[in-house]
Amino acid sequence: MNAAIRSKIIDNVSSEGFYSFYGKRKDSLERYAKFLKKNPLERTVLGKLKRIIPELSGLSFEELEFAIDILRERDRSLLERVEYVSGLLSLPARPVGHLLFIVDPRNNPPVNGLLKGKVESLEDYAKWIEETGSLQEMGVINYIMLESALCFKKEPVEDLDIDARIKGTDFTNIKELRILREEVQSLDRENLKRLTSELKSVHPYVRSVLFSRSHREVVIDGSNIVYSRQDTPDLARLDDLFVNMAKSRVALFPFRVVFDRNIAYTIGGFQQERLARWLSLPQVETYSPADEKIIRLARQHDAVVITYDRYLEHGVGDLILLRPEEIDENLGI
């Protein structure tokens, strides 16, 4: 995969507004895929398909319906189906691959958006199929999310005042929080007082980062926290941790989160998308064994570690290890 495209995918997935775009895109694609399962297919549905993929406009409705039937066959590999339909209808691989994605978006890779002009031949498509095996590394959990990342366009940044920028900043957006903290810390007493009173509804961790005079970097043992000595992992425990971190007079900022590499296989169901959102953040990573990376980062950055683990086998007497419930306004670090 082109490094620039890979970088753009990662950037898009972690951008404000992406998950709203993805949710709408997911609903739209899945709804349209259901229409394409009807037999016979409605002409209006096929007509829309031709508008979505202009290269199909020269096909008759019968040819298009026949192509869809072939692409649905599971007794041939994905690549064999695309190759067969491409040869049968004298079409490049990309529009056929795009058709296959629309017919079954959960099980086939997209080839539109940023890939237009990049994946055209059958060889390009074969290589792309291989590369989509590393979706998790880009913070992407399925092909629909990948397609959304390929098509997402950021809204132009407005010149907002500091109040609006703070209200629109997620507590995980370290880059923006750094900038805002510097601006807030430079305010005079009167403006600081006004801002404090007007921002009571923002996330408590954001308030802590912006208004605390001192701060200390933290490394969070992500897998340990989401399990929290329970049998079932729950990402809500990580969200709760940030609310708890806001109790400290010393801002626990900036933060890093390290998960065990197998976290994607232990978090399931509706939490998969939330996990993908965490993993898309630049300050969140997976590593195996996670303990080693957590300890190394803590030492490199003189950071506090938040975990229930005591790392007894690692000799960490030089580190501060905090359990979530030990974080309060009297915390001295």
| Residue in the structure block whose two tokens are 């990342």 | 149
DSSP, res 42: P
Q: What was the pLDDT predicted at 280?
A: 87
Query: What are phi and psi for residue 244, nearest 5 degrees?
Result: -70, -40
**30-71, pLDDT tens digit by residue?**
999 999 998 889 999 999 999 999 999 999 999 999 999 999
What percent of the chain shows pLDDT beyond 70?
99
Determine the Cα–Cα distance for residues 103 and 156; give it in Å rounded to an integer.
33
Tokens linked to 125:
């498509």
Q: What type of residue is 287?
A: Y
| Residue in the structure block whose two tokens are 């501060």 | 320
**4-36, pLDDT tens digit by residue?**
898 899 889 988 889 999 999 999 999 999 999
Say which residues have a Cβ less than 8 Å from residue 194's Cβ, sequence separation at least 6.
none
Whether the bond into 40 is cis, omega within 30 of 0: yes
Q: What was the pLDDT predicted at 179?
A: 96
Q: What was the pLDDT predicted at 3?
A: 85
CA 281 to chain centre: 7
**114-149, pLDDT tens digit by residue?**
998 899 899 999 999 999 887 877 788 899 999 999
Determine the Cα–Cα distance for residues 175 and 280; give it in Å rounded to an integer.
14
Mean pLDDT of all residues in 82-97:
95
- pLDDT of 111 > 90? The answer is yes
Q: What was the pLDDT predicted at 92?
A: 94
- pLDDT of 78 > 80? The answer is yes
DSSP, res 60: -
How many angstroms separate the Cα of 259 from the Cα of each of 34, 276, 286? Answer: 37, 12, 5
Q: What was the pLDDT predicted at 8?
A: 92
> What is the DSSP annotation of 152-177?
--PPPPP---HHHHHHT--TT-HHHH
Give counts: helices (H), strands (E), the chain: 17, 5
Q: What was the pLDDT predicted at 15?
A: 86
Cβ atoms 109, 143 nearer than 8 A: yes
Q: What was the pLDDT predicted at 1?
A: 65
Q: What was the pLDDT predicted at 133?
A: 81
Nearest to 283 by CA among 16, 17, 10: 10
CA 147 to chain centre: 13
Q: Output 178 or 16, whichever has higher pLDDT.
A: 178
Q: How confident is the model at residue 205 (pLDDT cuts 50, 70, 90)?
A: very high
DSSP, res 41: P
**What's the chain's average pLDDT?**
93
Nearest to 145 by CA among 135, 155, 153: 135
Edge-to-edge strands, sheet with 284-287: 284-287, 251-260, 215-221, 304-306, 321-322
Q: Residues in the chain, how many?
A: 333
Q: What was the pLDDT predicted at 157?
A: 58
**218-267, pLDDT tens digit by residue?**
999 999 999 987 888 999 999 999 999 999 999 999 999 999 999 988 99
**254-309, pLDDT tens digit by residue?**
999 999 999 988 998 889 889 988 998 989 999 999 999 999 999 999 999 999 99
Determine the Cα–Cα distance for residues 208 and 84; give it in Å rounded to an integer.
59
Determine the Cα–Cα distance for residues 61 and 64; give it in Å rounded to an integer.
5
Q: What was the pLDDT predicted at 290?
A: 96
Give the DSSP H/E element, type plus range, for residue 208. Answer: helix 204-211
Dihedral class, residue 274 (left if φ above 0, else alpha if ψ from -120 to 50, else beta) = alpha
Tokens linked to 134:
């590393």
Rg (CA), the chain: 24
Nearest to 99 by CA among 72, 126, 121, 131: 72
Q: How confident is the model at residue 158 (pLDDT cuts 50, 70, 90)?
A: low
Determine the Cα–Cα distance for residues 269 and 142; give it in Å rounded to an integer.
13
